[in-house]
Structure 1
Amino acid sequence: MNPKTTIKSAAGRRSGRLGAGLNALALSVALAASLPPPAAYAQQAPATQISIPAQSLHQSLLQLGQQTDIQIYYLPETVAGVKAPAVSGLLTPEQALRALLQDTGVQANWNGRTVSLSRTPSGDASQQLAPVVVRGLLDPATEGTGDLATRGPSTSATGLRLTLRETPQSISIMTAQRIEDQALDDVSSVLKQVTGVTVDNTMTDLQTYYSRGFVIENFQFDGMPALFEGGWDGGVSKMDSAIYDRIEVIRGATGLLNGSGYPSATINLIRKKPTAEPQAEIQLQAGSWDLRRVQADLSGPLAYDGRLRGRIVAAHQKRNSFMDYRSTEKLVGYGVVEMDVGPDTLLTLGADWQKNDNNGASYGGTPLFYSDGTQTTDVRRSFNPASRWAYWDQTSYNIFGRLEHRFANDWEAKLALSRQSLQDDAFATATASGNPDRITGEGLLQWICRCDSQRTTDTAEFQVSGPFTALGRSHDLVLGASFMDSRRQTPRYNVLGYDNSVENFYEWNGDTIKPDYFQNGNSDAKIRQTGFYAATRLRPTDALSVILGSRLSTWKEEWTDDFGSGPTGGSLSQRNIFTPYAGIVYDITPQHSVYASYTEIFRPQSGVRDRDYNPLDPVTGTNIELGAKSEFLGGALLASAAIFQIQQDNVAVLDEDYTLPLPDGSAAYRTAKGVKSKGFELELTGRLTPAWQIQLGYTQQRSRDASGERINTNLPERSLKLWTTYRLAGRLQGLTLGAGVNWQNRTTYTAGGWGVPPAIVGRTAVQPSYALVSLMAHYQVNKQLSFMLNVDNLLDKTYYKGFGTYGSGVYGDPRNFSLAARYRF
């Protein structure tokens, strides 16, 4: 949310010129839990680790507001064209501001934690603004901050505006700087770097995300819930990251906002917003396998003295692959406008669109076993199991609008609407059915899938939030209502006269004749979910916060299937589902806190069926998390530790004893009772010094069913993710070096279920533990021009990035590099 202001003159009136200027005030705000008396604040405020590069004074002031607990307000002309020096070190807010304003001609006038800026001597009352009262909200945007950490508030977990340390759950945030550092050009690439998240390639073009042992299906866009169905939503797998300021991942259940309180994680994608000042950049990138990418980003005020602002982002990328005859191309467009309808009302309208063309797309991976049951460890990474003509294309768009109003009593109201559309157009194959003879290469068939689908989801959410007073203390409350309606249409096809036999696995080159097909049926599904929720943060003492919340949901699914023999259908509904949430946070000191949280789990399972083609019962259970969070070096370094335990019933697991496909071509699942997942997570993010940044996370978890058997063995039980950068000084000033490693322990897959021959059932394949090393070098030539080199999988490890799907595996990328040039206007 961009800053919004309420401005009142002491005399209750404004001049026309002053009113126009005040409507364009630029404001940067940071919230503090407790403050000293206003007159003494500037002198008594604690020192904070400050890191602000040389840039425009406006951008420096925005970053200072984010890194400290002060409010700054000024007219745009006060700072227009003014440059500020770099400022870093352990400084009080007053010291940092004084350093920024040195030799600029701009003066600061303090009033408690609020400071106003002017260009005239403080004693010249005739030129001063009339006394004003300014209230605002921090926009915790991460672009331009240069930080791997963010200190702004987040609403992703409970709807309450809480800092990371005030939230009784584990949260990881991938900032704009981290995304830029590693040239992470799609959402899947970003999530691979997040603590506790596993990205599993079910096919070459589809990914499924996991956390704490379970699939992630809860998504948000700018805090608004969205519906996705795991690995089948190819548009999620390929969403470009160019349009996002940051990606927040809240591990554990978030049933308050999403309705289905599934305990894996929620992914909140925060879009870039228009900026108060004009800015533009263009980026060109080239790299391994003929990577070519161009990206442009323009933003700034459009009209009405800056009250109307806009932003446009566009990207085009083409790339071949380390896999034979495989290539991808994508087009991305994003546009958003913001309008200050009044001093307290903000209207946002926007849309994004993306088209992915994926050629040589496989419907699976390479077989994991030979016909004698031994693992196929010697298949070359370049092997493509798809036919040359195979493809999997996706088109998606989102249209969204939001109206926000801030009342005089610091309460806010928000109405958000969106329409999301995702269309898949796929004709994919995979030489993965059966198991090849180790000597002759015989024994394989091709899977083939004419896989089209279209899903449209309409979402609406209304929310009010603000403070209230009880028993002499201030507390917070949020009330909300949400509605979601999703419709999916999936045509069914018969493929005509296709010879799917493979003469020799070792001589396969994908050169087959593309078959004809005709539509012989259709599957339609509709999911509707409504919910009402409330959450409050009670503050019995300065050090203690108690967060209580609940949601009342109604969920209904209706479906109609026609596989050529006549339509069949059914429905499944759940009414008045009560999902409670409770959390407690205790500040041991102003820098260290401990917390506990509890929520119940409810998750419909519309995407999986049992062997009789009936939907599985909803998942139910409980989620408990205990943890501690700390700030070091004046808040520059954030640390967290958490332990969790998840107890669930009706968890979907593959029905290994049922080896036939279901009528829609999918595999059969069964429910597991008494599934328990427990483990711990550690994370460290921020600045060790003004020049040295780090993001380090370690996760350990185990998932077992009631009999003690491990489930989801294809997921690692232990993983470590590290990324660090260092900005050099002296003669090498302008050069930043980065390095990272992603490590995970051994995983296994035991053959079973649809598509696995009886002779192979029970055989186990092993993916040994491995580490992927990355390097980065970024050189800032001047304020406008920079170059960046990235190398991934430096040690050229061979590994599976998708392991076990239908008894096959998908290889990860070999060593590769990219070189980018960025020019900022």
Structure 2
Amino acid sequence: MNAVLQRAWKQRFKPGRLALAIHITLALTSTALLPESASAAPTATSTYSVSSGSLEQALLAIARQSQQTISFDPKRVAPYQAKPINGRFTLEQAILQQLQGTPLSVTATANGTLTIDAVTTTPPKAPTSALQAARDSGQTLPAITVSGGAEKSEDASVYNPSLSSSATRTTLALQETAQSVQVVSRKLIEDRQAISVEDALRNAGGVTLQGGNRGPNSLNIRGFNVTAGSTNGVSNPGTSANGSATGYSNIDGIERVEVLKGPQAVLAGNSSPAGSVNVVRKAPTAYPLHTVKFETAKYGEVKTAIDLGGPLNDDKSFRYRLNASTMHADHSFPDFNGKRADYVAPALAWEGDTTRLTVGAEFNVSRSSGPAATLYNNDRVQRLPTYRLGDKDNHFAGNAKTVYYELGQDLSDNWSFNSKATYLDSTMNYRIHETYAVATNGDLTTHELANKQDLNSISLQNDIRGKFDTGPLTHNILVGYDYQHLTTTSWDLYSGRIFTTGNYNNPDSLSFPDIPIPGYKSYKMVQDQKGLILQDQIDIWDKLHLQLSVKRAEWTSKTSTYPRNRTNTSFSDETKWIPSYGVSYDITPEVTVYANLLNSFQTAGALNTITKKPMPPSTGKSKEAGVKFNLLDDNLTITTSVFDIQQKNVVIYNIAGDAVGAEGRETKGFDFDLNGEVLPGWNISASYTFAQPKDADNSDQTGYKSRITAQPKHTGSIWSSYELQEGRFQGLGAGVGIEAASETLNGSTGNYFKMGGWAQTDASIFYRQPKYTVTLGVKNIFDRDLYDYSTTASYIGVKPGRTARLSVSYSF
């Protein structure tokens, strides 16, 4: 290839896209041994979402979404632009829509490959460039063959996936979504060696964690606590029923994590104005996938995982996926006893001409040690010789079993019925020693705590979706019904022992007798949520997009407590109509502006001790406007937004812990998120959030002025990696990242305290080859003492010190 041709190649074709095409083409070799019928282009319809841009990018998107092979000469399609489409089509229909108005046609080869070629006329002359010089000199460029059936999905290949279905339930380009939605892709999860969903969320702007000494950390978005989440779009049990906002899936079975910023009551029902986290499971694949992974880390931690998938018959209509992992560690930070986790997640899928069905299950058993902690005493956060306030055997244990299905049934070309359901059976246990009081010399008064919680839930989601045109308007209608029923039962110790022998300056003194099994049934809660959803996504002249929705949410709760052989029962019920509005406008194919008005409601579950009446639910309203950029041929995306979130009727408590009234809260700020590939091999994920909360003056009700705690004004993170694209050391690379936040106010009334800003630096080196990848990463590389935010002075969670992790994966 001469110098002119090389310049043409580099200017016209982005190496990042070439790398993707090469990976996809290599993966296709695994299907070459199938009969011809297996490779034939299917006539079944699928959902396609293609944005405006170049025709080349549209064909690449259709290939990825269809998991089929498309062959074309890039120079032939270079002069033409894509037509935005969003709906269900056959593969041929999707391609023909893009070829309308061009002298190009699509034909199928003997082995089923679809080829784009000229009909009779010559395409318009491309602008003068090095590419034109190469063509004028008689040189020709090779055709690129692209297959969606690659070894890696979009989430496993890029930092900036283009589509999401969590914000609207329908597959929609993130560029057109009138809301700030940040996706943590599988590639970013792997590159950062995330070990949990919470760990993966370190890459999401505006997300902060507040340490919890009795279970999972509390998750905040834009200064508000996240109370609801979903898995594959189906609501998880909320935190009001001691559920989990981040779900019950293991990180090894997750394809991506989506952060929806701002109120999500239309989707989640009873929830705070913070937003929501949607976890997307790995799905059955139409291409062979066989990967084994080995990890080892500090404290003797060893993990082995497998990821298997592929078709079960010649036409690939039956597919499967199996993820499994086992982890064991001898010890845990800083000197707790070991931890372990076992996970199995099988899934089967069948796709016919008009029907799509997936059934699956997840089994997750875990035991984690800790929590590592310090406290605020003598006017400062204590730097302990060992960050442990309880016994070495303090721990949390969980056992979660999940069964689910997802059904899609086409009713006609533009109408479909969709149904999802999830059943969860979860048991959580903890045995910890909690600090009750502390003396100036470090002596601790400690009491033992034991708790067992059984949670059973079923979540059902049904909807009918349709598409039709009215003049220049294209409507995408959704009419849905949600239902969730859950029961939570809790057991505690009737009376825990008190110990006064410990001192936080002497770790050896923090040794206590084994904690008994909890046998006192303390409460039982039964909750039901029902919701009717009406939604219309309206496209006007392909540039203006309206997203209108309303939900009639009905929430009921029955709580029974059992003090001293008595039973006290309380009931709550609320019904709300909750509207949400969003609009986006494509200024250019690369730039979109948007705005939204979102609402929320959250039940209080408390009784006003003065009026003896139930506290009314809190309501939230968020106003947001922003700009989205899709740059470098879709390789780099930027979302920037300003927001104003208000919440009313937030329950406030007096110093004795009694609910005495309600107040309003407000946070204003802005976000900046950047994700993608800047240059071939150079990937970046960066975010920054400014959030300014406003303290409410409720001293007339409580006798004091409360403060908003655990909310930094500035938070940010950046992760950047570079991989050599050619030469002797091709595949060798390194990554570095920094996560930082400004100072925060912590504690509670009468004992507020400040913690300074902080920063954590991580780094890794890796070597990637077609069959294997080796990664050595180090988190908190400078071994700094880093603390979680806290609402009490007697417990401040401590993050692990410097931790190295070696990961090796092999595909076969």
TM-score (norm 1): 0.80
1:560 aligns with 2:560: yes
Deviations 1:569-616 (A, max 9, x none): 1100013x100111111121221111111122211234x677799864
* Pairing partner for 1:397 from 387, 390, 401: 401
Residue identity (%) = 20
Q: Which whole-Å CA distance do the structure 2 matches of 1:823 and 1:727 have between them? A: 19
**CA gap 1:141/1:457 in 2 versus in 1, 3 angstroms:** farther
Higher mean C-alpha deviation, range 794-803 or range 414-423: 794-803
Residue 431 of structure 2 is aligned to residue 427 of structure 1: yes
Match of 2:201 in 1: 191
Alpha-carbon deviations, 1:659-683, whole Å to 9, x = none?
6xxxxxxxx6665422111111011
Q: 1:224-373 to 2 correspondence within 5 Å? A: 224-229=234-239, 232-233=242-243, 236=246, 239-260=249-270, 262-303=272-313, 305-319=315-329, 320-340=331-351, 342-359=352-369, 361-362=370-371, 365-370=373-378
SS at match of 2:252: coil
1:572 aligned partner: 572
**Paired position in structure 1 for 2:638:** 639
Going from structure 1 to structure 2, the CA distance change for 1:792 and 1:764 (only over 3 Å counts) comes to: same
The equivalent of 1:178 in structure 2 is: 188
Cα distance in 2 for residues equivalent to 1:518 and 1:600: 40
| One-letter identity of the residue aligned with 1:822 | S
Q: Is the 8 A contact 2:232 2:279 kept in 1?
A: yes
Deviations for 1:304-345, whole angstroms, at most 9, x for unmatched residues? 6422111111111123222223321111110100012x3110
Aligned-pair CA distance for 1:536: 0.7
CA contact (8 A) 1:204 1:365 kept: no
> Aligned equivalents of 1:652 and 1:459: distance in 2?
28
Say whether the 8 Å CA contact 1:338–1:346 is kept in structure 2.
yes
Tell whether 2:620 aligns with 1:621: yes
RMSD (CA atoms): 3.5
Deviation at residue 46 of structure 1 after TM alignment: 4.9
Show the 5 A alignment for 1:120-135.
none
CA deviation after TM superposition for structure 1 residue 468, in Å: 1.1
C-alpha separation in 2, matches of 1:794 and 1:487:
44
Match of 1:113 in 2: 98
Q: In the superposition, relative to structure 1, how do residues 91 and 639 fare at CA in structure 2: closer, same or farther (>3 Å)?
A: farther
**Other structure's SS at 1:202 match:** coil
Deviations 1:473-523 (A, max 9, x none): 322111110000010011233246x34223533224332222546634431
Letter in 2 for 1:296: I
Q: Aligned AA for 1:335?
A: P
The yes-or-no answer on 1:548 pairing with 2:548 is: yes
> What SS class does the counterpart of residue 198 from structure 2 fall into?
helix
Cα deviation for residue 249 of structure 1 reads: 0.7
Q: Aligned partner of 1:649: which letter?
A: K
Q: Report the Cα offset of residue 366 of structure 1.
A: 2.9
The equivalent residue for 1:466 is: 466
- What aligned pairs does 1:498-577 form with structure 2 within 5 A after superposition? 498-509=497-508, 510-516=510-516, 519-575=519-575, 577=576
Q: Extract unaligned runs of 5+ from structure 2.
A: 1-34, 82-93, 100-105, 116-147, 699-704
Please tell me the residue identity of whatever aligns with 1:32. V
Task: Name the SS for the 1:731 alignment partner.
Answer: coil
Name which of structure 1's ranges 349-358 and 610-619 shifts more when overlaid on structure 2. 610-619
- 8 Å CA contact retained: 2:245, 2:276: no
2:383 to 378, 387, 396: 378
| 1:32 paired to 2:50 | yes
**Could you state the TM-score of these two structures normalised by the residue count of structure 2?**
0.82
- The 3 A distance-change label for structure 1 pair 71 and 804 is closer
State whether structure 2 residue 729 is matched by structure 1 residue 737: no
1:785 to 747, 772, 785: 772
1:331 alignment partner, SS class = strand
Instruction: Report the counterpart of residue 718 of structure 2 in structure 1.
Output: 722
Name the SS of the counterpart of 1:658 in structure 2. Answer: coil
d(CA) in 2 for partners of 1:223 and 1:64? 24
Q: List per-residue Cα deviations over 1:673-706 (Å, max 9, x = no partner).
A: 2211111101111111122111111001122244
The alignment of Structure 1 onto Structure 2 pairs a total of residues equal to 719
- Measured at CA, do residues 295 and 670 of structure 1 come closer, stay the same or move farther in structure 2, by a change above 3 Å? farther
Q: Specify the alignment match of 2:760 in structure 1.
A: 772
SS of the aligned residue for 1:605 comes to coil
1:168 aligns with 2:173: no
Deviation of the 1:199 alpha carbon: 1.6
Name the SS for the 1:289 alignment partner: helix
1:284 counterpart SS class = strand
Which structure 1 residue ranges, 5 or more long, are not aligned?
A: 1-16, 36-44, 51-60, 97-108, 125-136, 660-667, 753-761
Write the letter of the residue equivalent to 1:787.
V
CA contact (8 A) 1:213 1:712 kept: no
| 2: CA distance, partners of 1:617 / 1:122 | 62
Residue 191 of structure 1: SS of its match in structure 2? helix
Secondary structure class of the residue paired with 1:257: helix
Q: Report if the CA contact (8 A) 1:592-1:630 is conserved.
A: yes
Q: Distance in 2 between matches of 1:572 and 1:140?
A: 51
1:581 corresponds in structure 2 to 580
Shift in Å at residue 33 of structure 1?
Answer: 4.8
Aligned AA for 1:433?
Y
